[in-house]
Structures are given as C-alpha cells and as structure tokens.
Structure 1
Amino acid sequence: MLYRHGFIALAGLGLMTTTGMALAATASPDAQGDVARGAYLARAGDCVACHTAPGGQPFAGGLEIDSPFGTIVSTNITPDPDAGIGDYSRDDFAAALREGERADGANLYPAMPYTAYAKLSDDDIDALYAYFMQGVDPVNETPAESDLGFPFNQRWGIGLWNWLFADTDAFQPREGQGAQIARGAYLVQGLGHCGSCHTPRGLFFQEKAQDDSGEAFLAGETLDGWWAPNLRGGGEGDEGLQGWSQAAIVEYLATGRNDHDAVVGEMTSVVANSTSHLTDDDLQAIAAYLKSLPRERNDESATSDTTPAQTEQKLAAADVEGALGARLYLDNCNACHTVSGEGAPKVFPSLVGNELVNADDPTGLLRVILEGARLPSTPAKPEALAMPDFAWRLSDAEVAELATFVRGGWGNHADAVSADQVADVRKTLPDDRETSAPDFVP
C-alpha cells in the first residue's frame, strides 16, 4: 500500500483471484461478505498499484519506488506465511495499516500512507483483513530489500518522524456535515489517501495537513515533475475544480475524461484500476466533498496578454520564421486540439486553462509532448484513445517553442520553457519506451 510519487495516488486495486474466490466460497456467509467488501475497499485503498511489480503477481510486491532518499521496494502482502503476511493476526494487520508497524515491531517507511489509513474504521479493517487472508492467492516470492542511504535506512528513526508528524486519530465527521460529504471525506482522507500526492510537503517530507482542518490539505504539489493539482473545488472563482461541476468530477473519476480535461501520468492507473470501479454513490460522495472544500483565492495569479481570439489569429497567420511555436502547434497539435485550443469534449482535452499546461513546473507537459499519453480503458469508456509521442520528431528547441506557445496561448499564463529544460526531461524517458516513429524515414 505504498504510494507512488506521481499524479494523484488513488491508483490501481485488485480483483479477487480464482483461488481466493474458492476460499471465500467455503467460508460462512458473513465471512464471504467481508471478503467481497474487503476487495472493494482494497480498490479504494490503492493496494495493487504499489504492491505489484510490472509483470509480477498481484500483491507480491517488488515494485521499485524512487524517493528523495533512495529506492523503496514494496513488500509482499499476499497471505503467504513466509514471504507475505500470512502469519499476521488481525491486530498485526491493523497496526501495519494504522501505525506503520510490522508484525516484528519494525517501522514501515512512511511511503506507506499509514497516516491516512489510521482513519479507517474497525469494520473496514476487518473486511480488508478477511480479503487479504481469504481472497488473495499466496505468493512465495520475497522482494529485494529497499536501498536507502544512511541515515534513512535506520528504521528506528522513523519513530521520531511518527511522533512529530503521524496523526493516528480515527476519522470523525465534522459537526453538521451531511452523510454524503462525510462519506466523501472518509474516502478521500483515509482509503484514497489523496493527500499523499495532492497536499504540499514540508521539510521532512511530511504532509502539511492530514485533513481539511488545514488549508494546505489537497492544495496541490509537484512530485517527480508531475503537478498533482489543487483538488479544493469550493469558494468563489473558476480555477481548477472550482470550475467543474460535481457531475464533471464524477465523470472524470469514472472514465478519465470529461469536457474539461483528460487524465495523464499516474492518474491514468488510478482511474483504470480504482476510481472507475467505485460505486456511483461513492464517486458522488467524493465529488461533493471536494466541492465543499474552499479554495483560497489567488489574487496575485499571473495573467496572459494573449486572448483566445488573438491566439486563433496568430495560428491563422502562422509562418515558420515569425511564429515557430504557432507553426509547430498547427503541424502537430491542431488536428486534435483545434485552433481554439478546446479540443473535443471527452476525447481530446482542452488546453485552455488546463492545470497541467499552466503548472509552475512544466515537466509534466513536456513529458506528455515527448512520451505521448493514453486514456485508460474503463467499464464506462472502454476505448483507450492515445496521443502520439513527439520525442522522435521534434528537437529540444522545437518542443520548448511548442510548449511555450501552449503555455502562453488562449489566456494561459505560464512561463516560457527552455531547450535545456526539455533536454533534462528527455533524459528521464525510459530506454525501452514505445515510439511513434516510422520504421524508416525516406
């Protein structure tokens, strides 16, 4: 249940396996109900995403997670008694989730979001325990050890971090909070651990707020170059989720797309494996809660000197010498995102006011241009539409011109991008990534 340093981290959760279903079928009706409910809660709790290595068995661990302190390797949480958690009692399991403590008494690294899972109810802990013990296939594979430098490899020191920053209080709805918003708060603050990516971090990598009692909660953070946007959707204004309706948030979580935007980066797996499988009632609750969180008005936000109409005029008159960024947009982006920059609802995301486009750190946008992107296949929207990558056909200078044009067009207000910034991002692209380049260039 470790989180990854990317776009939101609600991500990917597991289905009951064949052996697990057979075990559940032999249990009492109440136990079967706990296993099924635990499987659903595991989806909302982000377990498979971090505890499954690429090509590995579900929940068998082995995923390498880069952190500022070294590489953390996720653990095996299948019910295997030797390699996994098969010998954990229910109380051992609860202590790992809520307190970050292994059965042998050692501290877990706080990449495991136990500060969020501390909010889980006893009933939900029971259901999760039933699922992991009865609904998951045991896998006898021991992942490699985490590789952290001194002093971060000293687990005893995490006790001090916990004393300073870990909140172990169970979830309590605010006074006067309706049932729907309270359910959304429970999911967002606890199982979903949305704050792991969307809440600003402090000097010691702690979340600056664990719940909505702090204004920093879900106020946005940059992780690994990806901007995890501000999720506070209430208050006056139309920035980010303030301009989205509750229905638009639900649609985004259920399908990875809506009239405003389409998912990229880490949030792709979040939608594919987690939020798209949640009930409509839970999605409505999450959306209602996010819309209830007031967003501090930013009266000093940058403004653009270029209006949408001026940008369209520039595109209409684009030439290579006078407006290279505009010409590159016409050649590479216009067919999908159009001269208006608004794309096509639920198919090609709008670039106008887009939070990824306007992020202070352009790394996320540059990665999308260089690597491309693919929408997740979900039950409601099974088609996995893709944006091609352009690393093979555009130079660093050209990508910089293109990104600068997009970040300053149609009223967008982000800073220009340099070729050096593009070069730095290009170096991080995986060597084995697929490319849209043709097999030969005539």
Structure 2
Amino acid sequence: MPYPSYAKLTDEDVKSLYDFFMHQVPAAHVPNKPNEIRAIFSLRWPLAVWDWIFVKNGAFTPDPKHDAAWNRGAYLVEGLGHCSACHTPRGIAFQEKALDSTNSTFLSGASLDGWSATSLRGEMRTGLGPWSHADLVSFLKTGHNRFGSAFGSMTDVINNSTPYLNDADIDAMATYIKSLPANEMQQPHAYDNATTEVVQKLHVGNVGATVYAGRCATCHGQDGKGYAPFMPPVAGNPTVMDNDPESLINLVLNGSVPLVVKGTPDAYRMPQFRVTLGDDEIAEVVNFIRTGWGNKASMVTADDVAKLRKSTDPTSDNVIILKMR
C-alpha cells in the first residue's frame, strides 16, 4: 500500500475518493481471506516508528518556481500515481529513498519483484532522455511508443490507470517527468548495423545470433528496429541497455501478459521461452541483444538466468512474480 505517496493527497481528493467508494462502488459479498502474516509481524507499533522516520506528513505543496501544468504533473506522479513505489530505489528498511524531485534518487530506477523499473529521469541510454513529450504521452495512454512497450508491473498501470486520465493530466505528468534531469551523463545511443549482418549471415558458433534469428527477428526485426509502436525495437531500447538486465532476462524467460487499454486487448505480446531455451541459450541471446546494434550494455551469465528462472518459477511456492492472469 503506497500510502507514503498518498499522504500528498489534498483533503478534497481524499473526500472524493471516500464518496466514490461509499456511494458508487456496489457492495459485494466476498468472505475475507485468512491472515497470512505471522503473529510477530502483525504488531502495529513498529509501523508508527517507521512512519515517523520515513513518511512526510502534509498534502502536496505547489512549487512557485514552476507553472500550473508542472505542479499538476508533480502532484499526480508523486502522489496519486505513486510512480516512486517502483521506480525509486529502496533503503534497508524498504523505504523509498526519495519521495519528490528535490532528491536526485527520485525515480532513478529500482529492482523490484524480478523486474528492473528503469530510470524515469533524463539519462540518454538508460533513462527517458531520448523520449519526446509526445513519446511519453503515447506510452501513458497506450503502453506503446517508438522506444518500447509496457511489461511486468507496468502492465497493471496501463490496463487500469493512466489511459483513463484526461488529456490535460497525462500532458501534465509528461511535463513533470521530462523535467527531471539525468543523474549520469551518457552518450546517446548510436545505431550500428554490423549486428544486422551477423543475424543475416548466421555465423557458425554464434549461439546468440542463431537464437535471435530463429526466435526474435520476426517481431523485433533482423535490424533490431522492431515494428513500432506495437513490436518494440531492441536497438536503443532503455530496457535493453539498462544497467540491471533483470527485466530483459525476465521477459525472455516468462514473456509478457497482454495490454488491455480501455477494454481493447493488444494483438501482440512477448512469448515465454523458459521451456524451449536453456539458461546458456537465454544468456547468449540476451548478451547478443545487449551488446548489438550499438547498445553496448554489460554482459549476463547463465547463473543470472538460472537465479531468475528459479525465483519466477510458477510451480514454486517461493515465486517472486509471474503474472499470468
């Protein structure tokens, strides 16, 4: 429950939510589920201490240095949208290390539940630096743009949240997010077509190229440029170039669930390869993608794949995340 973000809500919006839940959401007879929290963790007083240390009280205060659109976007991103819950690193007490734009850690990317939520700041390779305002608006409305598609936990946001906002609010969110500066100066992605030639020629012994040509190129193109906006590129994609390869490995292992925008399901989705490809093969194709077409990202190992395979095993009691709804 992201209440540290909801603490920023105005009294008027809290009242509106209360009226909606009490008067517009119909009652449903559903028995309560048994409490799965062990007794020692049911004590409430430690939470009061946690709140005192980490939660800021008081509603959002507009920043007079910015215009109305920026402040509206800040209110939605920092508060109701609770984007920080996934995209901001957490500390030793599982607290978000920052709750607003006054701290450069805010929305700088984080690992959570088997996914890497990429930076929403202005980095040119691993963030949203190359995205235009229109690109961000498109992503919030549809889950797609010329750089990528929503996946993992972001699927819930697209399926249930941001497409239902009005145009002014989506525009305000994009205005605010695009104002966040980069934490790291990075050279922009420079496309290199040499990888395309490797895919086309299928050099003997290049396992990554062979797997890519047979399993990936149909949707993402032999040139890595994809077929935007519905089949995203792997060349220049911030998820591919992320310092944390977790999301890319997870997508290859487990695929993605469909995006359903206002009741209309997406016609395309990433299939899973956890059954048909071994850890070595997945590591090889992930490395081929992360180092190809000018991406120049770090390498992964078969052990990295094996760990994520185990933690996302849908038959395991210890599964972290594999949303198959």
- Using the size of structure 2 for normalisation, the TM-score is 0.90
Determine if contact 1:268/1:376 at 8 Å carries over to the other structure: yes
Aligned CA distance change for structure 1 residues 148 and 307 (closer, same or farther; 3 Å): farther
CA deviations 1:233-290 (Å, max 9, x no partner) are 4xx8565211111111111111110111111111111101111111111111100110
Q: Find the structure with the greater CA-based Rg.
A: 1
| Corresponding residue number in structure 1 for 2:148 | 261
The aligned amino acid for 1:177 is H
CA deviations 1:65-110 (Å, max 9, x no partner) are xxxxxxxxxxxxxxxxxxxxxxxxxxxxxxxxxxxxxxxxxxxxxx
| Corresponding residue number in structure 1 for 2:302 | 419
CA positional deviation for 1:358: 2.2
Q: Is residue 213 of structure 2 the alignment partner of residue 330 of structure 1?
A: yes
CA distance in 2, matches of 1:344, 1:392: 26
* Residue of 228, 244, 255 corresponding to 2:131: 244
CA distance in 2, matches of 1:359, 1:297: 13
CA positional deviation for 1:384: 3.4
Determine if contact 2:139/2:145 at 8 Å carries over to the other structure: yes
Determine if contact 1:254/1:380 at 8 Å carries over to the other structure: no
Q: Is residue 79 of structure 2 the alignment partner of residue 190 of structure 1?
A: yes
Q: Is residue 35 of structure 2 the alignment partner of residue 145 of structure 1?
A: yes
CA positional deviation for 1:206: 1.1
What is the identity percentage for the equivalent residue pairs of Structure 1 and Structure 2? 41
Q: Is residue 262 of structure 2 the alignment partner of residue 373 of structure 1?
A: no
Give the 3-state SS of the residue equivalent to 1:222 in structure 2: strand
* Residue of 245, 267, 270 corresponding to 1:387: 270
Give the 3-state SS of the residue equivalent to 2:129 in structure 1: helix
CA distance in 1, matches of 2:74, 2:209: 43
The aligned amino acid for 1:269 is D
CA deviations 1:149-195 (Å, max 9, x no partner) are 84x44321111111111101210111131111111111111111111
Give the 3-state SS of the residue equivalent to 1:425 in structure 2: helix
| Corresponding residue number in structure 1 for 2:315 | 431
CA positional deviation for 1:359: 2.6
- Tell me how many residue pairs correspond in the alignment: 317
| Corresponding residue number in structure 2 for 1:319 | 203
Aligned CA distance change for structure 1 residues 434 and 160 (closer, same or farther; 3 Å): closer
Deviates more, 1:152-161 or 1:377-386: 377-386
Equivalent residues in 2 for 1:164-203 (5 A)?
164-203=53-92
CA positional deviation for 1:368: 1.0
Q: Is residue 286 of structure 2 the alignment partner of residue 399 of structure 1?
A: no
Gaps of 5+ in 1: 1-111, 436-442
CA distance in 2, matches of 1:350, 1:287: 22
Aligned CA distance change for structure 1 residues 204 and 412 (closer, same or farther; 3 Å): same
Aligned CA distance change for structure 1 residues 324 and 199 (closer, same or farther; 3 Å): same
The aligned amino acid for 1:343 is G
* Residue of 21, 39, 42 corresponding to 1:132: 21
CA distance in 2, matches of 1:248, 1:195: 20
CA deviations 1:379-429 (Å, max 9, x no partner) are 496433122222222111111111111111111122222222222222222
CA distance in 2, matches of 1:142, 1:381: 31
Aligned CA distance change for structure 1 residues 175 and 344 (closer, same or farther; 3 Å): same
The aligned amino acid for 1:337 is H
CA distance in 2, matches of 1:194, 1:139: 30
CA distance in 2, matches of 1:237, 1:257: 19
Gaps of 5+ in 2: 317-321
Aligned CA distance change for structure 1 residues 364 and 434 (closer, same or farther; 3 Å): closer
CA deviations 1:351-385 (Å, max 9, x no partner) are 12222222333222122112222441214964331
Give the 3-state SS of the residue equivalent to 1:185 in structure 2: helix
CA distance in 1, matches of 2:285, 2:294: 16
Aligned CA distance change for structure 1 residues 327 and 149 (closer, same or farther; 3 Å): farther
The aligned amino acid for 1:142 is N
Equivalent residues in 2 for 1:290-305 (5 A)?
290-298=177-185
The aligned amino acid for 1:397 is D
| Corresponding residue number in structure 1 for 2:319 | none
Q: Is residue 241 of structure 2 the alignment partner of residue 358 of structure 1?
A: yes
